[in-house]
Structure 1
Amino acid sequence: MKKRIFRNFTIIICFALTIGSVMLYLVMSSILLEKEKENLMTTLKTLDYAQGDLLENDAIFKNFLDDEDERLTIIDEQGKVLLDSGVEDAEMMENHLQRDEVKEALRDGFGYDIRFSDTLKENMLYAAYYNESVHQIYRISTPYHGLAAYGYMLVPLLLMTLGVSLLISLWMAKRFSDNSVKPLEEIAAEIAKISKRGAALHFKNYDFEELRAITSALTQMKQELETTISRLEQEKLIRTEFFSNASHELKTPLTSIRGYAELLNSGMVKEEQYAQCIARIMIESDHMIELINDILMISRLEGKHMDAQATTFDLGALIQDIVDAQMPLALKDQIQVHTDLAHVEVVAAKRYMQELANNLITNALKYNRANGQVEIELTKEETGIKLIVEDSGIGISEENQARVFERFYRVDEGRDKKVGGSGLGLAIVKHIVHYYEGTLHMHSKLGIGTRITVHLPILAKQIDH
């Protein structure tokens, strides 16, 4: 890259020097031509003052010439040559009326032309002046080679100037290429650290805004990459713990089922105990099926794979049905359930809403105390619905509140085993809320109770009764 920048920069410099030289040549040629014209015209004007004796006195005529290569000609208005310093018999010369400098002098008073002379075999500069008082045209000519005549002086000077300019330009080109590539090399060295975990990127504060934008983007990319890797590692750890916990949770009912099956197979079970063993196997089978279904639901919710179609239904009526179904559990411990359920027509997956409400209500009953209270409230908001489930149960400590929504996390392992459940209820609630991009808030105190508030931004409409 450095060589390419240097090469391109050198080409541009050489092109610029060439263009500059050509323009300088044209400007100097123009200045030289104007100077020659001015000198010739000065000679002609001087000649005009002495014109009375010119045609009779050849010596005076020739004294006006500064150079032996110059020619002086007097022409009348019809183009006839009256006198020429280079020709003995001027009357034998052809008519000059169609010469450009003559026509221009007759029209404007002054005329100029540059052309090749067949007589002298070289380029000549012609200057003509029209004297109206005597009706004659005075013309002077001189060899004209432009700057080529000064080549022996200009060429060495020009070559020296170009050489110095080229050396300075090449030095600047090399410095520019080095300064341009060096920041990129430094940035490339830092980029190599991106793949190294925990390695910080250190960029200089470069003068170019574009380079600062690149370094800023790379720093942000490094930070995002570190965050992504941390998140993936965390997710990997969570998955590992999940499969470990799932295996443990499945192992328990399977061990129980196998134990009862072996007991039945041994023939040692009395007839009156046979039905009890079968019932226990059925309970453990249901527990295992419930656990598997909960695991599958969490997996689908995490992957945003909708396995239940959205329908329109009365969410208040659905929650009331869940409360009615759980009344035996409430009556067992004399728990009073109070509901304030608005009839809200929502568009959502009915199965997910049923899982969410059922897990919250079931937990409020299971982890309550005898003669306790459960308050359930459903209201419609501008952006969706709000569901509050509050109990007067055992409560949750602050250190455990942050983890109760984790999969298989149990605050009190002994009590949780006693009341049953897969340990995934609140994890399912959290995933359903996140699926609908809602919010979930818990407020709990030990020995006082727990209140869980859910906001879901789903399409909802108040039903008037």
Structure 2
Amino acid sequence: MTKKIFKSTVLASAAVLILGVAFVMGILYQYFGKQLNSELEKEARYLAYGVEQQGQEYLEQIKYGDSRITYIDENGNVLYDNTADENKMENHKNREEFQEALSKGKGEAVRMSDTLSEKTVYSAIRLSDNSVLRVSSTQYSVFALILQLVQPVLCIIFVMLIIAGVIASKVASKIVEPINELDLEKPGENEIYEEVAPLLGKINRQNRQIQKQLEEARRNQEEFSIITENMQEGLLVIDPYTMILSGNSSAWRIFQVNEPGIGQSVYSLDRDEDFRKVIEHVLEGKHGNALLRLDNEFVQLIANPVTRDGKIVGAVLLLMNETEKIQRENLRREFSANVSHELKTPLTSISGFAEIIQDGFVKEEDVKKFAGRIYREAQRLIQLVEDTIKISQLDEGENPYEWENVDIYSVARNVCGNLKEIAQKKNVHLYIDGERLICRTVRPIFEEILYNLCDNGIKYNKDNGTVTIHLKDIGNAIQISVEDNGIGIPREDRNRVFERFYRVDKSHSKEIGGTGLGLSIVKHGVAFLGGTLELTSEVDSGTEITVTLPKQA
């Protein structure tokens, strides 16, 4: 804007300057022309008076100046000329100034030279004898004057343009300075030129409108971010060139990306063939879905195209972690298989022994022995069903018991008493380490937890081994640790020992006994009571399982 004002000012100044010079020169030219006519007339009258008094001799006596003097008789013949031979001059009868002087007493005329650079001004006076005295002088034309004054005029114009440029620069800066200092955030508070007021008013209205739109866009963005960031499902939006436009934290977490990949190709997240096929199909306008395997997790990918005016402008990808669902499905199938297997074994034994007895192949003295084996298998079957029912109740959150304040030390003594006979058979010693603690819990469930932990510690122990119950107060919670110095659990099995029917050593499971549901009951029971479970173990050194329960339910 400053440059534009500067150029406009300089151009306007130059135009005014040139027009002014031309106007002044025209005025001066006209003025000096009239002045020349007046002087020639005066000179002619003066000379006419002398001729009237002394005759032609008067003209021959005077000193010549710049003017040309011509004396003409009434017939147009030249009698005298101070610059040329009168005998050689043509008749002047038809000259304009001569005829006007004869008719009016005086006459004037102007004739241009052949080059148009000069003009001759004539002033004629009629004498008493009808002769005419003419005085003429040469004057430069406007064009000739301009040519003679080109250099000084250009110098003057150049100097004036420099002065105009300096002044224009300062004036432009002064004009633009208030505009540059405008506070466009608050245009209504600016006091400036009246001509700018409508523009500032329009800017103020537009600012309010833009601010309103920005606020609405920001609110929509915040709402969108709140919704997407609180989604457990991953959400990605891509353009038709596979570039990621948007994504939530769940998506980055699923793909194990530390920083958002906005602006990168979606293929940088996963180069699996199934993933690429889904992206290709969805950008062709087709709905797509696939189950992806990302490390140890299963992710369901659902892709839908985004269209605008009938064209594919991108796609929305929804990612759902189905790992737990698939694991549960696998556990359910495994549980069904294990239950079938666990039920089949005792039922097969019962059926076989009963069939032998029924067919009479058993001696009288062996009937009691076979009946005992049938009874043990039946008890094993009943125990299996009871444990399964317990886990189902804990899974469904059923609690037929009441919450009460329980003496943990007392429960530990009762559990040790119940397991004393089993421990003696395995030559394992039971110990309790700690003080008397009170906890609000469900006594039967807690007893079941502690019983299964100690029972496992006895079963998987060594000869002359130990099982110790540690009781500890840690403020708002208590810790119950069951530690043994038995065979330990291999590292690869530690994450699975709490699964239903899972056994570390399946080859000796029949010798050890049990249903394979003990630690699963422990896990579900602790979760029901609002506690946490921690396992540490070393092969051939022993295992310690720690249960932490809140004092208040």
TM, length-normalised to structure 1: 0.52
Q: Does the 8 Å contact 1:442/1:453 carry over to 2?
A: yes
Of 336, 340, 345, which residue of structure 2 is paired with 1:243? 336
1:269 aligns with 2:362: yes
Q: Secondary structure at the match of 1:459?
A: coil
Q: Secondary structure at the match of 1:454?
A: strand
1:413 aligns with 2:529: no
- Residue of structure 2 equivalent to 1:257: 350
Distance change (3 Å), C-alpha of 1:261 and 1:194: same
Of 390, 398, 411, which residue of structure 1 is paired with 2:483? 390
- Residue of structure 2 equivalent to 1:330: 423
Q: What RMSD over aligned residues (CA atoms) do the two structures have, in Å?
A: 3.0
Q: Does the 8 Å contact 2:394/2:525 carry over to 1?
A: yes
Q: Secondary structure at the match of 1:276?
A: helix
Q: Does the 8 Å contact 1:436/1:458 carry over to 2?
A: no
The 5 Å alignment of 1:338-357 reads 338-357=431-450
Distance 1:435 1:413 in 2: 29
1:380 aligns with 2:473: yes
Tell me which structure has the larger Cα radius of gyration.
2
* 1:380 positional shift: 2.6
Distance change (3 Å), C-alpha of 1:309 and 1:194: farther
Of 294, 309, 313, which residue of structure 1 is paired with 2:406? 313
Deviates more, 1:234-243 or 1:378-387: 378-387
Q: Structure 2: which 5+ residue stretches go unaligned?
A: 1-236, 246-281, 292-299, 307-314
Cα shift readout 1:113-146 (whole Å, capped 9, x = no counterpart): xxxxxxxxxxxxxxxxxxxxxxxxxxxxxxxxxx
Of 378, 394, 410, which residue of structure 2 is paired with 1:285? 378
Q: Secondary structure at the match of 2:452?
A: helix
Distance 1:273 1:308 in 2: 44
* 1:381 positional shift: 2.6
- Residue of structure 2 equivalent to 1:360: 453
The higher-RCO structure (CA 8 Å, 6+ apart) is 1
Cα shift readout 1:243-265 (whole Å, capped 9, x = no counterpart): 11101100100011111111111
How many residues in Structure 1 have an aligned counterpart in Structure 2?
262
Cα shift readout 1:228-251 (whole Å, capped 9, x = no counterpart): x33222212211110111011001
Distance change (3 Å), C-alpha of 1:340 and 1:199: closer
Cα shift readout 1:266-292 (whole Å, capped 9, x = no counterpart): 122112111111111111111111101
Q: Does the 8 Å contact 2:476/2:550 carry over to 1?
A: yes
Identity rate, percent: 35
* 1:334 positional shift: 2.8
The 5 Å alignment of 1:41-440 reads 193=287, 197=291, 198-199=300-301, 222-223=318-319, 226-227=320-321, 229-440=322-533
Distance 1:358 1:445 in 2: 22
One-letter amino acid of the structure 1 residue matched with residue 514 of structure 2? G
Q: Structure 1: which 5+ residue stretches go unaligned?
A: 1-182, 205-214, 461-465
Q: Does the 8 Å contact 1:369/1:394 carry over to 2?
A: yes
Q: Secondary structure at the match of 2:548?
A: strand
* 1:200 positional shift: 6.4
Distance change (3 Å), C-alpha of 1:195 and 1:300: farther
* 1:194 positional shift: 7.5
TM, length-normalised to structure 2: 0.44
Distance change (3 Å), C-alpha of 1:439 and 1:278: same
Distance change (3 Å), C-alpha of 1:341 and 1:261: farther
Distance 2:413 2:238 in 1: 68
Distance 1:435 1:195 in 2: 37
* 1:305 positional shift: 2.2
Distance 2:539 2:377 in 1: 32
Q: Does the 8 Å contact 1:384/1:456 carry over to 2?
A: yes
- Residue of structure 2 equivalent to 1:80: none
Distance 1:305 1:185 in 2: 50
Cα shift readout 1:46-80 (whole Å, capped 9, x = no counterpart): xxxxxxxxxxxxxxxxxxxxxxxxxxxxxxxxxxx
Distance change (3 Å), C-alpha of 1:267 and 1:317: same
- Residue of structure 2 equivalent to 1:459: 552
Cα shift readout 1:352-407 (whole Å, capped 9, x = no counterpart): 11110000001111111111122111223323221101111011110111111111
Q: Does the 8 Å contact 2:287/2:304 carry over to 1?
A: no
Distance change (3 Å), C-alpha of 1:242 and 1:185: same
Q: Does the 8 Å contact 2:288/2:304 carry over to 1?
A: no
